[in-house]
Structure 1
Amino acid sequence: MVSSKDRARKLARVKLDRQLVRRAAKQRRRRQIQAGLGAAAALLLVVGGIAWLGGAFDDDESSTDAADSDVCAWTAQNVESNKSLKDVGEPPTSGIPTSGSRPMTITTDQGAPIVVNLDLANAPCSAANLAYLAGKQFFDNTTCHEITTEGAIRCGDPSATGQGGPAYSIYNENVPLAPEPTPSASSSPAKAPAAAPLYPKGTVALIGDPPGTNGSQFLIFFKDFSPKVPAYPIIGTVSGGMDTVTKIGRIATEADAAGSKVKPKEKITVQSITVGQPSAETATVPGATPTVAAPSAAPSTSRKS
């Protein structure tokens, strides 16, 4: 016969076994939950990483602000004091491409169109300025009113006076640096190599009066030019139609209203100027290291006397 003490021990044993079974079941569920949570966390990390790489967590406002930030600035000119200026509004100050190049096609009555690669990296605002004016047909049926003594054709002034342009101006962006003075002659009889011209043949540059207040007027050089004090911001280089530029450069000149022998005897008409879309290719622009220069007291275009 089983004693009461043995029966109590047996009941305690059964109770303990039940507790162990329940405890083991709880541990299994806890491990399952932890495993599920771990897998979910890993999945979230993977998805989050992919989203981060895709830019999902970028600050949209910051990105928009960067895209909309001002790149250029335009200075209003007094159209009341200068009747040669033409008010066509102002270009936008943001959303301006700052790399690669874009083609500018100048169609004249002198031969094949002249194609210029505008340098968006070193002169983005100058390029945006010309593109804006071309879109307004600002240059249509204007004349190249000078063939300068420096070896350049001067165009882009609807008034053909040298004082015309839009009702705003743009600062110098890409004026080449003058070469540093060469050291005094040494004992070596070897002759130093000639420096590259600051404005090689085919260079296109803006010209302002006074310098640093550029508008619509530009120079196309048909021969090399190296001034002691560079004043013209380079905006691009001729990539097509150089024969037309050379032909125009050979036109004889006569005295203009100021007595300078720079007025072409034959009328040179710019029928239109168009500016194409930006290209990712880097523009090849002549000139020295680019620099942004503020308006200075550098001399204006020299003229024949």
Structure 2
Amino acid sequence: MASKQAQRIAARAQLQQRMAEKAEEEKKRRTVLWSLGGVGALVVLVVAAWITFGIVSGDDEDDGEAAEAPTTAPAEEEPAEEEPAQPTDGLPAQEVIIDSLAMSEPESGATAECEYSPSQGSEGAETPPATQPAAGTQEMTIETGLGTITADIDTEAAPCTAGAFTYLSGQGYFDTSQCHRLTTEGIFVLQCGDPTAREAIEAGMPEQAGTGGPGFQYAEENLPEDGENNYPAGTIAMANAGPGTTGSQFFIVYDDSTLSPANYTILGEITGGLDIVEEVADAGAM
């Protein structure tokens, strides 16, 4: 079984590679901007010289008429500054750090066969056992700096997802991670579960948050029916990058939302602490 340290090292290596690529792109962009800036400065100097010459020549030729003109133009009212629109999708303004995430022991009984495969770029990564419990429910407890959030996990309906969380939480995979995305329009969710998000945010590259995962992926399960508000407030569900790419990132729905029914596994239902997520939502996104 892979250790928490080994998984974080692999995830961090991927993040550092992305950050290096980002830095190289930024270097090239600055080079282009410097070149454009030099040309722009030359154009400004030429225009300024032309304007100065025009003003001096005009004063010499039209001195009589200029004396009758007003010396100052009527004052114009400056338009009122508009307040910038609040972002509706971004890093939560209220920081949410997951101190720990724990899963209770699954119930004995039925089992399910799950197919966990290494995600792209993570060949050889350790994966959870293929055979997972598929009976009853488990309790998830998320300790955050803002309080405790609890959820009933539907192990019977989502055995592979529940098994992945039991496997990862047992290694402390989610500990000290940061929730990296809040949406406040259209859909209403707080997204967490990327072990590299906090490092990316602290490095000043929040756009890289949300790209990390456990090194393995699996198919969606326990999908809802199509219809309005098919992900009601209190749902805890799984994020992904497309079919079959569910990993460790999850989202908590704090207000009724409508999503494609074929995309996001419903893992369970929040039983306590939803008010914490609502307070984070009230603080808005950055």
What is the TM-score with the length of structure 1 in the denominator?
0.50
Gaps of 5+ in 2: 1-108, 198-208
2:222 alignment partner AA: N
Task: Answer whether contact 2:112 2:159 (CA < 8 A) is retained.
Answer: no
Query: 1:265-284 maps to which residues of 2 (within 5 A)?
Result: none
* Residue from 242, 248, 251 that aligns with 1:216: 248
Q: Which residue of 2 aligns with 1:99?
A: 135
Q: CA deviation at 1:219?
A: 0.5
2:236 is paired with a residue whose SS is: strand
SS at match of 1:132: helix
For residues 211 and 239 of structure 1, the distance between their equivalents in structure 2, rounded to whole angstroms, comes to: 28
Distance (whole Å) between structure 2 residues aligned to residue 252 and residue 228 of structure 1: 24
Give the CA RMSD over aligned residues: 2.3
Distance 1:210 1:163 in 2: 13
Structure-2 change in CA distance of 1:74 and 1:204 (3 Å): same
Deviations 1:147-172 (A, max 9, x none): 02411000000122211111110100
Q: Give 5+ residue unaligned stretches, structure 1.
A: 1-66, 180-194, 255-305
The equivalences for 1:95-174 within 5 A come to 96-111=132-147, 113-148=148-183, 149=185, 150-160=187-197, 161-174=209-222
Is the Cα contact below 8 Å between 1:204 and 1:238 reproduced in 2? yes
The 1:167/1:228 distance shift into structure 2, 3 A limit, reads closer
| Match runs of 1:1-305 below 5 Å | 71-79=113-121, 87=125, 89-94=126-131, 96-111=132-147, 113-148=148-183, 149=185, 150-160=187-197, 161-179=209-227, 197-227=229-259, 230-254=262-286
* Residue 247 (structure 1) shift: 1.5
CA separation in 2, counterparts of 1:80 and 1:100? 32
Structure with higher RCO (Cα < 8 A, 6+ apart) = 1
Number of residue pairs aligned between Structure 1 and Structure 2: 165
Return the letter of the residue paired with 1:115.
Answer: T
What CA deviation, in whole Å up to 9, does each residue of 1:102-142 have, x standing for no partner?
0011111112x100111011101100001111011110101
The alignment partner of 2:283 has SS state of coil
Q: Which amino acid aligns with 2:118?
A: A
Corresponding residue of 2:47: none
Give, in whole Å, the separation in 1 of the partners of 2:226 and 2:151. 24
Question: 1:227 and 1:109, CA in 2 relative to 1: closer, same or farther beyond 3 A?
Answer: same
Rg larger in structure: 1
Cα pair 2:150 2:273 within 8 Å, conserved: yes
Aligned equivalents of 1:234 and 1:222: distance in 2?
14
TM-score by length of 2: 0.54
Equivalent position of 1:52 in the other structure: none
Tell me: CA distance 1:77–1:239, structure 2 relative to 1, closer, same or farther (3 Å).
Answer: same
State how far apart, in whole Å, the 2-side matches of 1:168 and 1:228 are: 23
In 1, Cα distance between equivalents of 2:177 and 2:224: 28
Measured after TM superposition, the shift of residue 177 of structure 1 is 2.1
Give the conservation status (yes or no) of the 8 Å contact 2:224–2:261: no
Structure with a larger share of its residues in helix: 2
2-side partners of 1:242 and 1:221: how far apart?
9
The equivalent of 1:262 in structure 2 is: none
Letter in 1 for 2:155: L
> Cα distance, 1:227 vs. partner?
2.8
Sort the Cα spacing of 1:107 and 1:178 in 2 relative to 1 into closer, same or farther, 3 A: same
